[in-house]
Amino acid sequence: MVTMQQVADRARVSISTVSFVVNDTKPVSADTRERVLRAIDELGYRRNSMARALASRKSRVIALIYPLLDHRHHHSFVDAAATAAEERGYSLVLWPIHSDNVSTEIASLIQAGFADGVLLMEVQLEDERVSHLQRAGAPFALIGRTRDLEGIDYVDIDFERSIDLSVGDLTALGHRTISLIVEDLSGTPLAGYSPPIRAERAFHEAIGERGLTGEVFRVPHERASILSLTDELVRRAPGTTAVIGMHDEATFALVNGLRHRGFRIPDDISIVGVASATAMSAFMDPALSTYDAPGSALGRLAAEALIDRLEGRAGAPTQVRIACTLVEGASMGPAPRDRPALHAGSGR
């Protein structure tokens, strides 16, 4: 690893002069600065983030907060946020929290100097964490949306547009009866989590505008509820020819359940995932068609928005929504003609 002393030797200056240039703590002549910067570039010196933090009296750390009981996988969001932070000279730490004093615990991260700012995930429509951070004057950005977004930096999946796209694509294939599967998070720490709420509202609007019929299935994450979904679909919506899933475990279970009943996917019924685990879809039979979540883009944008605030950027808040994009598998096809209604026995 290249040291500051080696940079000083190459530039023919003292180590303190290199420190002045690197940390921008004292003015140096243009010629000296140029020699130091050239030596840094030639040697590939990387400024130590801890030294930079000590010089600036900042931690150079941003904390990504998520519930300890969260069941989702957010690798793309986290990886992209960490990369963007590193490029700007910050470190990203994951801070799982689940307690009765969540808001106080988050704000204490800032007040104690452990982190300069906070990224919040799994945002609820009415989120006390946001209100607490606003009152404390702590810098933050959201990956998700609350109901009131005035003055808040946020990025999010455009669930409304994503649902409308999926309904539109299925309608173009002739489907007239479509069902939606969302998570039922009532009674959990994520009870106010907004994507299922937004998706259900958007679904009703999308099918209403197109004159379609449809049913919404809210499915908890308990094993029994997931395994009983196929029976529920058969009982409540036997005319369904296409299903949109925003609940990975339930969607995967439904594929298996329908196939065991003899229904062919997509010949008899189409199934697509929205904001699903696209990487897992290839392991299904058939491979699931998914509307892929823009996790990498949103993770990067969230980190950059927060760091811009930390470094004094003024102006309008960053408020970005990106729709999911279709990754074609083999589970979406034209609506079947003269298919018998779904039932508990064989489909053929």
* pTM across the whole model: 0.79
- Using DSSP's 3-state secondary structure scheme, residue 213 falls into strand
Residue 273 inside a domain? The answer is yes
d(CA 274, CA 167): 11
* 211, 253: one domain: yes
Asked if 139 and 243 sit in the same domain, the reply is no
**Residue 183 maps to which CATH number?**
3.40.50.2300
Domain range for 30:
4-47
The total domain count for the chain is 3
Tell me, yes or no, whether 336 lies in a domain: no
pLDDT in tens, the chain (348 residues): 567 778 889 999 987 788 778 766 678 898 998 898 888 888 877 655 444 544 455 778 898 887 654 555 567 888 899 899 888 888 888 877 655 556 566 666 666 667 888 999 888 888 888 888 887 788 899 999 999 999 999 999 999 999 999 999 999 999 999 999 999 988 887 788 889 999 999 999 999 999 999 999 999 989 999 999 999 999 999 999 999 999 999 999 999 999 988 899 999 999 999 987 777 777 788 899 999 999 999 999 999 999 999 988 768 899 999 999 999 999 999 999 877 777 765 554
For residue 52, tell me if it sits in a domain.
no
Write the DSSP symbol of residue 234: H
Q: Is 337 a domain residue? A: no
Determine the pLDDT at residue 216. 97
Nearest in space to 72 (alpha carbons), one of 189, 198, 215, 204: 189
Q: Does the residue 90 lie in any domain?
A: yes
> What pLDDT score was predicted for residue 33?
87
In three-state secondary structure terms, 87 is helix
Domain identity same for 228 and 189: yes
User: Is position 183 within any domain?
Assistant: yes
Q: Is residue 335 part of a domain?
A: no
H/E segment holding residue 272? strand 270-276
On whether both 164 and 246 belong to a single domain, the answer is yes
- Is residue 84 included in any domain, yes or no? yes
CATH number of the domain where residue 40 is located: 1.10.260.40
Three-state DSSP state, 81: helix
